[in-house]
Structure 1
Amino acid sequence: MSAHEKESVEQHESTVEANHGGVGRSSEPQFDPVAEAKLRRKLDLFLVPGVALMYLFSFIDRTNIGNARLAGFEEDLGLSGNDYNMVLSVFYVAYAVCEMPSVLLCKYIGPAWFLPLTTLAFGAVTIGTAFCETRAQIIACRFLLGVFEAGMMPGVAYYFSRWYRHAELSFRLGMYMIMTPTAGAFGGLLASGILSLDHFGSLKSWRMIFAIEGIISSGLAIIMLIIMTDTPATARWLTAEEKELAVARVISERPAQTEVVDKMNWAKIKVGLSNPVTIVSAFLFFCSNVSVLGISFFMPTIVRTIYPGKTRVQQQLLTVPPYVVGAFCLITASYLATRLNRRQIFLISTAPAVMAGYAMLLGTTNANVRYAAVFLTASTSYFPGSLCNGQVSANTVSDTARSVGISLNVFCGYLGGLIATWTYLPWDGPLYPIGNGLNLAVSGALGLAAMGGLGWMKFDNKKRDQVTPAERLELLAGLTEKQTSELDWKHPDFRWQP
């Protein structure tokens, strides 16, 4: 952020503080609902589409290897046995190692720089994948892809938390997380279209998939580098009144905070990482990603085992409908979570349909029933992608705590992704009882943990409600303004938002 932009941020935040008296006071500022609605529409128009497209192509570039597998990827590179699973795994090793540093870098340099630059980098790596000739080369490319994609998902969730109120965030996160199942559907259609070409330059077959999709990602990154902005206070497309309102709205929900973007320190990092709701949400996201990323990487393989007599293009196209159902269910759940300002109940609802789907895959060999089961597993399994990040954002206070909380959530989620790469092994096919059984188990664990988290939040809120004004003053006695702002979820005025 330039010196001029920093001055602008400070000016607007000081204006908000003067007009509204900060946060953590006894009365929360009231905002004009008409002005808020107009501002939300403007934020949605300028923020969501471009960010959603970047995330769409990050997921396509990550999972297009499943489509390439149907087009001779393994044979051309001499992969055999568990080599394909190893190639998938190395991505998540890099992702796990680089995810936390990536989010801190995102906060340090600003999302408007970080997100487009990392998109440009993973687009370039995807193009490079098209020219791989050996197993070592494809492993190197997948490792680099993990390095550059590590900050994308948590970076977007963190970026949106700078602009939207808690109740608004779930739907906006859903609007970009819908790109996860959309990537599966669109990626299958795009791969089918690309494979219908004779060649792309000197490239043929699966190599065209990586080259064309990588070029699209890189072009999108350059456009977003030009048009993105970091904070409401520096948005040229907002009026002075809209900037003040945008900053005030976000600060109003953060006890003892007087700024949207704070300075990092270890106290806020530690309180962000120790947040109980963040820890539970991270476990839920871990369980969810075992299923979600298993579906994303192995959907073409599963469909091929269900309908082995179909042509390659027909198999690609059959992967599309389950993703469409998943996208519809995700956006519906995210919309309802925003309208009700409740997320945990929808996280609980993730488990039953997914469990039923995997139980059907375990219990029958009928092709049509197994294909129907894939729809069930895809229907609700994507919910935690938006809701867990929304839950972390709603239950952290400072910008720093929020950034590391989202980072921890996504880190644990992609440890689940690492497990997912080994759930469907060649010798376990064609029915894959081990892979389907594992997914059934983690779906059940997700449901139980989500119910436990909801019960604990309600219990702890009741305890906080019983704190008297005198006890509150005693808890805050002797603390400086800085120390009070670092309490985060430990502040007596804080309440969990289920």
Structure 2
Amino acid sequence: MAESEKPGFEEAALDKSRDSESNAQGISLQESDFGFTPEEQKNIIKRIDRRLVVILGFMYTVSLMDRTNLGSANIAGMSKELVLINNRYNIANLVFFTTYIVFQPPSTVLIRKIGPRTHLAVITLLWGAVMIGMGFVKNFEQLAAMRVILGVLEAGFFPSCVYLLSTWYTRYEVGRRYSMFYLLGCVASAFAGILAYGLMQLNGREGLTGWRWIFIIEGTLTCALAVIGYWLLVDFPDSKRLTWNFLGQRELDWVVHRIQRDRGDSKIPPFNLRKFLGAGTDWKIWVYALIFGFSTTITYSLAFTLPLILTRSLKFSVGASQCLVAPPYALAGIVMLLGAWVGDKLKMRGPIIIFNMVLCLIGLPIMGWAPHPGVRYFGVFLVTAGANANIPATMSLQANNVRGQWKRAFCSATLVGFGGIGGIAGSLVFREQDAQSGYKPGLYASIGSSLLIIILVLLLDFGFWKANTKADREGILLEDHDEDAGPDFRYTY
């Protein structure tokens, strides 16, 4: 037997022994359970969580850290040394997203072709090398060029992760997994401000200023995690490629079967460009993308400029600002997990997103107009929590309401592509020239984004309700673009 056809390093005898043990105990198991007891099924899911969600989450940590650490470097001396006058800092943030958006659509096709291990590990290693290179740039032009290359390499990471996670879990398991994945990246990268403050203390070592060490050390960490990820990342559940010390073939067959039973799209039809792009005719795909784009407008604006807001608007010291970035993200993690648990438990998505935006609409006026810095910092907590919790909530909304592997791949690409457009907007929301006014134009833009998200969610939910009602009354098939579409699929709102 060829090596690629083997089910894994676990012995087939293990499967046989489990069958014998179950029969000996007299356990009555359905055929669809593949001989696994409920306890064994839970253990399989836990193994998937540990291996898939945790590894992807830590890799997403360095992804977020590497694309948003310009803010920490800026207040650590980069702005003065590279002469980032006028809007140069905003432009350095913005150019990343030009290539980040363009190179995303092919990624969800490429990851199927070459596999997650190779695809994700290689691009992570390469962008880690770019980060190290950013520690040696001499002027604004070189900085901008490195950010453009960084965008090319990071483009394939997030949509591939969203797509990969959606193939392993049922519709009402995926909310908590998306939240854990994003939480690991979001909260851990928030503490990058504290890490950056520590790295600033290396100022003068080897003739390099402190902000350069931020890029060099964090880039080195990224490269190390890429090597670890190559060995620990897992493939798609239906793949025959070898994954080191993971699930046996019978366990993988059970995972594929439960996905098929849940939403009926575990089978992978041959790639068809017309069918892939044809998913774009569904108006809901673009509404998901708009919701995600408006959400990332707020999250990126905070990620890029929160240290500057704390320093220049709220008048905290540089050291305090670096450290005060982290606590609001801890609250974001709590809101994120609670929203995911409630959403999965009650099988709803839209109300969770609306709740998150209400938090933003309460926090933004406090952040911008409260008389005391401490109270305004409390507003930062609410905005950070609501905006960041909305990212996995929106990912869950689209994952629950899309059927078909290639439509799912197209949706992941467009979702994250619009997230990149939100990154461009977020790069320009809090501008240097608005610092004296307390960044009021950026606050108005964030309030507008929050209101638009609520309107779009209500529009979607109304459309879902109408479609589900029609399917119940007339027996029409929803999301029936694939041959194996089933009659039981209903939209989640």
Q: TM-score, normalised by structure 1?
A: 0.87
Cα distance in 1 for partners of 2:107, 2:5 equals 22
- Cα deviation, 1:327-364, whole Å, max 9, x if unaligned, reads 22112212222233322221121211101111223433
The answer to whether the aligner puts 1:241 opposite 2:238 as a matched pair is no
The answer to whether the aligner puts 1:449 opposite 2:472 as a matched pair is no
Query: Which residue number in structure 2 is paired with residue 495 of structure 1?
Result: 490
Query: Which residue number in structure 2 is paired with residue 396 of structure 1?
Result: 402
Query: Which residue number in structure 1 is paired with residue 198 of structure 2?
Result: 193
- Cα deviation, 1:170-189, whole Å, max 9, x if unaligned, reads 11111111135314521111
Task: Provide the secondary structure at the position in 2 that maps to 1:132.
Answer: coil
Residue identity matched to 1:5: S
- What's the offset of the Cα at 1:42? 1.1
- What's the offset of the Cα at 1:418? 0.5
8 Å CA contact 2:259, 2:266 repeated in 1:
no
* Alignment equivalent of 2:331, drawn from 310, 317, 325: 325
The answer to whether the aligner puts 1:467 opposite 2:471 as a matched pair is no
Query: Which residue number in structure 1 is paired with residue 439 of structure 2?
Result: 432
Query: Which residue number in structure 2 is paired with residue 377 of structure 1?
Result: 383
Question: Within 5 Å, which residues of 2 pair with 1:152-191?
Answer: 152-191=157-196
* Alignment equivalent of 1:304, drawn from 307, 311, 319: 311
Cα distance in 2 for partners of 1:406, 1:3 equals 33
Give the length in aligned residue pairs: 466
Task: Provide the secondary structure at the position in 2 that maps to 1:47.
Answer: helix
8 Å CA contact 1:91, 1:143 repeated in 2:
yes
The answer to whether the aligner puts 1:360 opposite 2:372 as a matched pair is no
Cα distance in 2 for partners of 1:258, 1:154 equals 19
Cα distance in 1 for partners of 2:349, 2:2 equals 39
Q: 1:120 to 1:447 in 2, by over 3 A?
A: same
Query: Which residue number in structure 2 is paired with residue 423 of structure 1?
Result: 429
Residue identity matched to 1:243: L
Task: Provide the secondary structure at the position in 2 that maps to 1:71.
Answer: helix
Query: Which residue number in structure 2 is paired with residue 5 of structure 1?
Result: 4
Q: 1:4 to 1:174 in 2, by over 3 A?
A: same
The answer to whether the aligner puts 1:252 opposite 2:257 as a matched pair is no
Query: Which residue number in structure 1 is paired with residue 298 of structure 2?
Result: 291
Cα distance in 2 for partners of 1:203, 1:101 equals 38
- What's the offset of the Cα at 1:245? 1.0
8 Å CA contact 2:159, 2:412 repeated in 1:
yes
Query: Which residue number in structure 1 is paired with residue 113 of structure 2?
Result: 108
Query: Which residue number in structure 2 is paired with residue 264 of structure 1?
Result: 271
Residue identity matched to 1:415: I
Cα distance in 1 for partners of 2:53, 2:205 equals 32
Show structure 2 runs of 5+ residues with no match.
13-29
- What's the offset of the Cα at 1:165? 1.2
Q: 1:202 to 1:218 in 2, by over 3 A?
A: farther
Query: Which residue number in structure 1 is paired with residue 18 of structure 2?
Result: none
The answer to whether the aligner puts 1:485 opposite 2:482 as a matched pair is yes
96-105 or 283-292, which deviates more: 96-105
8 Å CA contact 2:111, 2:119 repeated in 1:
yes
Task: Provide the secondary structure at the position in 1 that maps to 2:86.
Answer: coil
Cα distance in 1 for partners of 2:319, 2:32 equals 57
- Cα deviation, 1:357-413, whole Å, max 9, x if unaligned, reads 112234334222211111111121112321222222222222211111111111112
Question: Within 5 Å, which residues of 2 pair with 1:32-181?
Answer: 33-181=38-186
8 Å CA contact 1:188, 1:316 repeated in 2:
yes
Cα distance in 2 for partners of 1:289, 1:118 equals 22
Query: Which residue number in structure 1 is paired with residue 413 of structure 2?
Result: 407
- What's the offset of the Cα at 1:270? 3.3
Show structure 1 runs of 5+ residues with no match.
13-26, 477-482
Cα distance in 2 for partners of 1:405, 1:28 equals 33
Task: Provide the secondary structure at the position in 1 that maps to 2:474.
Answer: coil
Q: 1:216 to 1:177 in 2, by over 3 A?
A: same
Residue identity matched to 1:449: L
- What's the offset of the Cα at 1:88? 0.6
Cα distance in 2 for partners of 1:210, 1:250 equals 41
The answer to whether the aligner puts 1:313 opposite 2:312 as a matched pair is no
Q: 1:130 to 1:435 in 2, by over 3 A?
A: same
- Cα deviation, 1:60-109, whole Å, max 9, x if unaligned, reads 00111110011011111111011111111101111111111223222222
Question: Within 5 Å, which residues of 2 pair with 1:187-226?
Answer: 187-226=192-231
- What's the offset of the Cα at 1:117? 1.1
Q: 1:241 to 1:180 in 2, by over 3 A?
A: closer
Residue identity matched to 1:441: G
Cα distance in 2 for partners of 1:30, 1:273 equals 36
8 Å CA contact 1:350, 1:447 repeated in 2:
no
Cα distance in 1 for partners of 2:170, 2:31 equals 13
Cα distance in 2 for partners of 1:112, 1:225 equals 5
CA-based RMSD: 2.6
- What's the offset of the Cα at 1:219? 0.7
Task: Provide the secondary structure at the position in 1 that maps to 2:303.
Answer: helix
Task: Provide the secondary structure at the position in 2 that maps to 1:298.
Answer: helix
- Cα deviation, 1:143-193, whole Å, max 9, x if unaligned, reads 011111112111111111221111111111111111353145211111111
